[in-house]
Amino acid sequence: MWTTFVIPRLLHGIELLSIRKTDLENLERYQRKVLKQLQSLPERTASVAVLMLIGAKTIEAHIDTRIITTFLNITKDTSSVEFSLAVRQLKMKEHNSNSWVIKAAHILAKYDLPDPLFLLESIKNKKDLEHWKKQTKIGIETYWEHKLTTEIENKSTLTYINIQDRPTKYPHVVWKGSHHSPFASHKATIKAKLMTGTLLLESDKHRFQPKRYNPQCKLCKTDIEDQKHFLFKCPILEARRSPYTEKLRLELQNLGLDTIDENTKLQLIVDCTGINLGRAQKDSAMRLEALSRDMIYALYTCRANILKKNSF
């Protein structure tokens, strides 16, 4: 919905304008704000996770795509004024010029695409044009996929999030399997918060404010409450947990993964796409996603109810 209906209207004609850095930052900030609201994620959620989970591009990527596409469309008519102007400016303008054509040249270089003069001279027909449009699309997707991966690797709160294929085009499996009902979407929201490190457990609170919070689990008071403790170990939650762990055990047994260690099991619960599930990858991922979504929601609500009861 966002990419199909909002982005075309939000950025209509922007590829022909000179956009300042502050204007671009404001547009990026607006998009992040809306996408956080759509996913019910808190303001502190890492920007890279907000985009990757919903399968959205940055505003910068959208604008770059539009500028390159416009430039490629100029190349198809060698008799046009725009074509002659592009050739003239590329040959005469300085590298730091504010010319739109020079700006397009910088963007082509950014994505390791050919020199603009080469494109102007080599595109002779519709087939050539479609070829370079396809190469442009691949180059931009590759660039941003690499950038997303690097940013996620540098975020300690995103340790268990896996970058899926074409993350700037398709939503993460956490949202793919939750569109059939509002209740499933609500469960997915809780899981998305756990994935992005914004479902605050006691160890998270302690990390941010060590003098104010104790990392110890408020339910069992026997261990530090981190993701492993919450999902697998807290004895107070065991009665609520056991039906799901049994289903998980059977599912993993069917996949030949019944001997995996605790860290791998944690990866499966938080984001199963980070594990190779064999030939049945897609179907297995959807089953594990539904199971983990239900399990996390059940544990979360049980924990919240106990804490609420204990506060009185």
Can you give the pLDDT of all 312 residues of the chain as single tens digits?
Answer: 788 899 999 999 999 998 899 999 999 999 999 999 999 999 999 999 999 999 999 999 999 999 999 999 999 888 999 999 999 999 898 888 889 999 999 999 999 999 999 999 889 888 999 999 999 999 999 999 999 889 988 888 888 888 776 777 788 888 887 777 888 899 999 999 999 999 999 999 999 899 999 999 999 999 999 999 999 999 999 999 999 999 999 988 888 888 889 999 999 999 988 877 765 567 778 888 999 999 999 999 999 999 999 876
Per-residue pLDDT at 254: 86
Distance CA 190, CA 29 (A): 23
Widest CA span in the chain: 80
Please report, for residues 83, 98, 115, the alpha-carbon distance to residue 90 in angstroms, rounded to integers and kept in the order given: 11, 12, 10
Task: Return the DSSP state at 276.
Answer: -
Burial of 28 (0-12, 13-18, 19+ CB in 10 A): middle
Q: What is the crossing angle of helices 281-310 and 262-270, to 10°?
A: 90
Closest CA to 190 of 182, 198, 179: 198
Q: Are 175 and 166 in contact (CB under 8 A)?
A: no
115 CB contacts (<8 Å, ≥6 apart)?
Answer: 105, 108
* Cross-strand bridge partners of residue 216: 224
Distance CA 176, CA 179 (A): 6
